[in-house]
Amino acid sequence: MLYGMIKVYKGGIQLKTWNLDALYSSFDSEAFQQDLKTIELEIKTMNDFAKSGFDSTDDALQKLVTYLNQTESLQTYFRKAFAFCSLSISVDAGNKKARKYMNKLQELSSNTTYATTRFTQWLPQVENLDEIIQSTDALNDTTYFLTRTLERAKHVLSDKEEAVIAKMKNTGSSAWSQLQGELTSTLKVDYDGKQITLSEIRNLSSDKDQSVRKKAYEAEQKAYPKIERAVAYAMNGVKGEVNTLSKLRGYDSPLAQAVEQSRMKQSTLDALLAAMKEYLPVFRKYLKRKGSLLGHNDQIPYYDLFAPLGKSSQTFSEEEAMTYIFKNFKTFSDDLEGLARRAWDESWIDFTPRDGKRGGAFCSNLHPIKQSRILTNFTGSFSNVITLAHELGHAYHGDQIFKERPINSSYTMPVAETASTFCETIVKNAALEDAKKEEKIFILEQSIMGSTQVIVDIYSRFLFESNVFETRKDTPLNPDMLKEMMLNAQKEAYGDALDEEYMHAYAWLNKPHYYIGGLSFYNFPYAFGLLFAKGIYAAYKKEGSDFVGKINLLLQKTGQMSVEDVAALVGLDVADKDFWKTSLDVIKDEIELFLKLTK
């Protein structure tokens, strides 16, 4: 099924889907097929150059320029083709052509390992590298990329070993990840006399009716055993591979590797986690109050974590949601509003859930075409509007990054959540200003609910993943072990605020983040992003419109600076625990207001 070429219908209603024509019209199109050939040719050219060019450091300047130009050209073609495959699969898990070409591109990607490894091994041999970089304009914006390459060189194996590893990943972690994605996208859940998708059943967790939420939770829990063993194998495959490779490459642990990949210091992560742990009791007070308001005894069952409180005056159509976002984005800048209008007018967004479409939401920045694509599972709730604002924030970040050359366009996960969280904060705060008491409770609680997920639940997921990696060193993990580990992590994070009779033992199964071989600990970056964005938002409110340019510069430079240096652009010290506590105090004030309003 080729989205953007045909209309998609469900129950006789035309759905609002994205248009991918700016990438390709189809897999059979001349443009797509020609780009595949170009990718193969450019890989051969790069490998031929690497074979002879990196035998010595003679003419180092010219070799640097040639290799970087080759890399950027190949990235442009590859990112475009790969995005078309992955985006197609994300809305149609059974798309056979997309999976066929995804596998082909993964194989082609593994063929680039020889050249990248040779370059990484060669670069430390170049004498006077700084002088060479400064000698020509062609290299004056590559300093950070080359410095990072020198750091990676410490963990690179031989070119033959790296080539074998890259190819084995295609039938290892990449294949396990695809299995988890397909099983969860196609899982049928028995609910109310019919079968619906996992995304649809999970959307019912925020239904206004408690009986619906509980029944949906129970149906979800009953569905998971159908696929638990297969997904547990996927978890073992991915985490076992990461453990092996991180050790081979000389990292102390997968976490140490994740911290380095995040371009941050361990001390910064330690400061963040320490502040989060210190403030857990604050969030538990909120959870206990919410549980009481919903008729529970000072605890809350998992099925009511996402229950709406207060009253919302309306549900939103897709167009109404976007109009609301346009209005509030404009209060920050015309550029932000304009970006959101482009996303709507040019069909960047695939809105609604359907069979075969993956759950959750994401934004994919497409540097080759200077556009983004956004997936949501929109059903009209206010929280869905916030999700839209969040993902449009990612698109705005992309718009700033598109100003940079391709090798400077990859930013790390901790700063990836900055613009998204900032944008959802704009919308939430605007909604609060005009709201009456019941609606204010609703909006405020939606905000706190999201923050609780990003601080408390993320903390539980960090604990869980740490335990998985450690345990996987010695033994495979069966579903019962994974469930027990997840429950223990939830107990430690939520404390006595979560009803132990109704927890979520399968929270490891439905989260795709655990199954990405090249990106471990895809959890703490959310907490970093939330609190970092709140610190930036506080500075913006203090300085006003003069601060907009600083924020844009920060976003633009995230691909070529460490996390600490990016923060320093706006005068923030993220290695200081007090910074994180200051941001957490903003959420604490929201919780105190919520407790006051709900006495």
Average pLDDT over residues 66-70: 96
Neighbours of 540 (CB within 10 A): 21
| The predicted structure's pLDDT at residue 389 | 96
- Please give the Cα distance from 233 to 477 (Å, whole number): 8
- Please give the Cα distance from 360 to 353 (Å, whole number): 9
Average pLDDT over residues 98-122: 94
Checking phi first, is residue 11 left (phi over 0); if not, alpha (psi -120 to 50) or beta? left
- State the pTM of this model: 0.82
CATH of domain 23-170: 1.20.140.70
| The predicted structure's pLDDT at residue 15 | 65
DSSP letter for 9, please: E
- Please give the Cα distance from 555 to 395 (Å, whole number): 11
Rg of the chain on CA atoms, in Å: 24
- Please give the Cα distance from 107 to 40 (Å, whole number): 11
**Residue (of 268, 278, 270) closest to 585 by Cα position:** 278
The mean pLDDT value of the chain amounts to: 93
498: β partners = 300
Q: How far is CA 538 from CA 326, 443, 445, 543, 584, in A?
A: 22, 19, 20, 9, 12
| The predicted structure's pLDDT at residue 315 | 85
- Please give the Cα distance from 291 to 312 (Å, whole number): 19
CB 556 within 8 A of CB 562: no
CA 475 to chain centre: 29
With a CB cutoff of 8 Å and minimum separation 6, the contacts of 195 are 188, 189
Domain ranges across the chain: 23-170, 318-409
CB 41 within 8 A of CB 70: no
pLDDT tens digits along 215-266: 999 999 999 999 999 999 999 999 999 999 999 999 999 999 999 999 999 9
**Residue (of 460, 384, 375) closest to 206 by Cα position:** 384
CB 498 within 8 A of CB 547: no
- Please give the Cα distance from 434 to 445 (Å, whole number): 15
